[in-house]
Amino acid sequence: MTASPPDSLELRPICTPLATTPAGLPDVPGGWTEREWTVEGRVFRFVLPASPDAFLDDAEVHAAFDRDEYMPYWAYLWPASLKMVATILRTHWKPGTEVLELGAGIGLVGLAGLAQGLRVTISDYEPKAVDLAIFNAKRAGYTQAFGLVLDWRNPPTRQFEWIWGCELLYEDRNHEPILELTAKMLAPGGTAWFVDGGRAKAERFCNLLPQKGFDYAIFDEDLQPLSKPRVGKYQLIEVRRPSSVATGEESIR
């Protein structure tokens, strides 16, 4: 039996680029393609970069890396996002619940929230990612989506009932800004879900949570509790403020 690849490895299918750039999107290295995923019986159709690796040779990306160690991770599809989508679709939500998605990438997780009737603000550091996510949301007929170009180091003064983040824990330097943002933008009684594909960095992130005044629990893809972070396999880190009353949806604990 062949072992399944780690959940932390990006998916790299060979995709044929579209003949022309879709109206409303910019030209990108390698062009755009269209793909379809079915999760929990629901079909998601997406436009996304056809060749994310092509960004690595782009002069604009090189300049951004020199300024801020920027990498175009937004252009890849990460397997943990598909499992997070399944969790979102299996969860009962209060209609109209306000959600902030961090590091949205192509926007698949945010689209799952919109499909559940939530009001989702889709954010990313990369403006192209925000434009793409909103493009895909509108293309699917969802009007309750909002876009936000967001630097975690400089969060706005606004709060949400829920914060979602998928595959954000890959570098230590991101942990403190994410937690400071969560402390500022998570409403009293709110909940944050940070989904991780099993990166070794997740343990450091979890160790920081009590220091920042948060309670947390860890779950696998079947929502079974985990005693500690694991490597190479999906995990959902649920973050809450101590002694808070949940809004929008009860804890999965």
Average pLDDT, the chain: 88
pLDDT, tens only, 21-65: 999 999 999 999 999 999 999 999 999 999 988 888 888 878 877
Q: Can you tell me which residue has the tokens 């983040």? A: 165
Considering only 2-6, 85-89, 103-107, 212-216, which range has the smallest mean pLDDT? 2-6
> What is the rounded average pLDDT of the residues 179-205?
95
188 assigned to some structural domain? yes
Residue 203, number of CB atoms within 10 A of its CB:
14
46 assigned to some structural domain? no
24 assigned to some structural domain? no
| pTM of the predicted model as reported, rounded to 2 decimal places | 0.88
Residue 37 is predicted with a pLDDT of 93
In 40-178, the DSSP E strands lie at 42-49, 98-102, 119-124, 145-149, 160-166
34 assigned to some structural domain? no
48 assigned to some structural domain? no
57 assigned to some structural domain? no
The vertex-131 CA angle with 179 and 87, nearest 5°, equals 55
16 assigned to some structural domain? no
Percentage, residues of the chain above pLDDT 90: 72
Number of domains, the chain: 1
> What is the rounded average pLDDT of the residues 83-104?
96
CATH classification at residue 143: 3.40.50.150
55 assigned to some structural domain? no
Structure tokens at 21: 């750039």
Confidence category of residue 166, pLDDT binned at 50, 70, 90? very high
Structure tokens at 228: 């500690």
Angle between helical axes of 79-90 and 108-115 (0-180°, round to 10) = 10
126 versus 12: the higher-pLDDT residue is: 126
Half-sphere exposure of 38 (CA within 13 A, CB side): 1
Domain that holds residue 201: 78-240
